[in-house]
Amino acid sequence: MGVDLRKEVLRLLKEDEEFRLAVTGLLGIDEILKAIKSLQEQMVKLQEQVAKQGEAILALQRSHEKLVASITALGYRYGIYTEDVFRDAIKYLIEDLLKAYEVRRWTYYDNEGVVFGYPSVIDVDVLIRDNEHILIEYKASIDRGDVAELAREGILYERVNKVKPKLLIIGPVVRKRALELAKALNIEVRATEVME
C-alpha cells in the first residue's frame, strides 16, 4: 500500500499543478523559488549596470587615446619647429658671430643602410675648421635613439670622407639614459635640462 501511495504522490506532483503548488507551499519551496527569481532579476540589473559602466570606460579610453594622439601630434609639430629655429640660431652663432667654423650640410645616399638599417638619404650638419670635422644634430628632445643615430652617422661619414668626425648633439632636453649612452659613445651633448 505504501508503494501505491508513493506512486500516487509522484503522479500528482507531475500531473496536478494545484497539488504541486500546495506541496511546494507546505515545504517552503515557493519562498526559495521566489528568492531565486529575485536573485535572477537582480543579476540581470547588475549585468545591465556593468554593461553601461563598460561602455563608459570604453568611451573614456577612446577619449584618452584621442587626447594622447593630439598631444603627440602637437609635440611633433612643436619639436620640428624648435629644431629648425634652434638650427638657425646655432648656424647664425657659428657662421656670423664666431667665424671659426664653416657650416655645411652633408647629404649622402646611404645605400648600405648603415644608419637606419635600409638604404636612405642622410642629412647632417657638419662644422669644419682646418682638419676638424664635427657632425652636429639638433633635437627638441634628445633620447637614446637620437644618440645611436648620430653615432651611426659618424661611422658612415668616416667611411665616405676618410675623416673621423667629432660628434655633437644639441637640444633643450636630454633624457638621462641618452646622456649615459652618449658618454659611452664619446658623443658630446649640449642640453639645458636632463630628464628621467
User: pLDDT (tens digit, 9 = 90+) per residue, 41-98?
Assistant: 888 888 888 777 777 777 767 766 666 565 555 555 555 555 665 666 566 556 654 5
- Rounded to the nearest integer, the mean pLDDT of the chain is 79
Q: What percent of the chain has pLDDT over 70?
A: 76
DSSP-assigned letter for residue 171: E
Which has the minimum average pLDDT: 84-88, 133-137, 188-192? 84-88
- In this prediction, residue 57 carries a pLDDT of 73
Residue holding cell 667611411?
159
Q: What SS3 state is found at 28?
A: coil
All three cell numbers of 101: 667654423
pLDDT at 178 over 80: yes
179 confidence band (pLDDT: 50, 70, 90): very high
Contact 167, 188 (CB under 8 A): yes
Residue holding cell 637620437?
146
- In this prediction, residue 182 carries a pLDDT of 93
The arithmetic mean of pLDDT across residues 18-41, rounded, is 77
Contact 152, 171 (CB under 8 A): no
pLDDT at 136 over 80: yes
- In this prediction, residue 97 carries a pLDDT of 40
Prediction pTM value: 0.53
Q: Which residues contact 132 (CB under 8 A, 6 or more apart)?
A: 166
Cα(78)–Cα(159) distance, rounded to whole angstroms?
A: 34
Q: What SS3 state is found at 106?
A: strand
The arithmetic mean of pLDDT across residues 4-30, rounded, is 77
pLDDT at 172 over 70: yes
Helix (H) or strand (E) holding 188: strand 188-195
Pairing mode of beta strands 188-195, 102-110: unpaired
